[in-house]
Amino acid sequence: MARKLIELVRQNVELYDMSCKKYSDTLFKEEIWKKIGLAIGRPGSDCRLRWVSLRDQFRKVIRNKTKSVQAAT
């Protein structure tokens, strides 16, 4: 499910690109999450929560790698 979710989010830049005009349109983004949910077979709200979790995990890994590289130098 995670790979498909990531791919579907990647196709909808409005969900993550703050420079996009529709980024601030919560109703528009809610409709996108519903469509993603239908594609995955889960409620859109579950997909959004899963995406937030995946994004935060990724950020944490990147941050920790950066810290470990800086500590090594």
Contacts within 8 Å (CB) and 24+ apart, 12-18: 12/36, 15/51
> What is the model's pLDDT at position 55?
96
Query: pLDDT digits over 31-68, tens only?
Result: 999 999 999 999 999 999 999 999 999 999 999 988 77
Q: What is the pTM of this model?
A: 0.84
List Cβ neighbours of 42 (8 Å cut-off, separation of 6 or more).
1
In the predicted model, is pLDDT for residue 70 greater than 90?
Answer: no
In the predicted model, is pLDDT for residue 24 greater than 90?
Answer: yes
The mean pLDDT of 13-23, rounded to a whole number, is 96
Extents of the domains making up the chain: 2-72
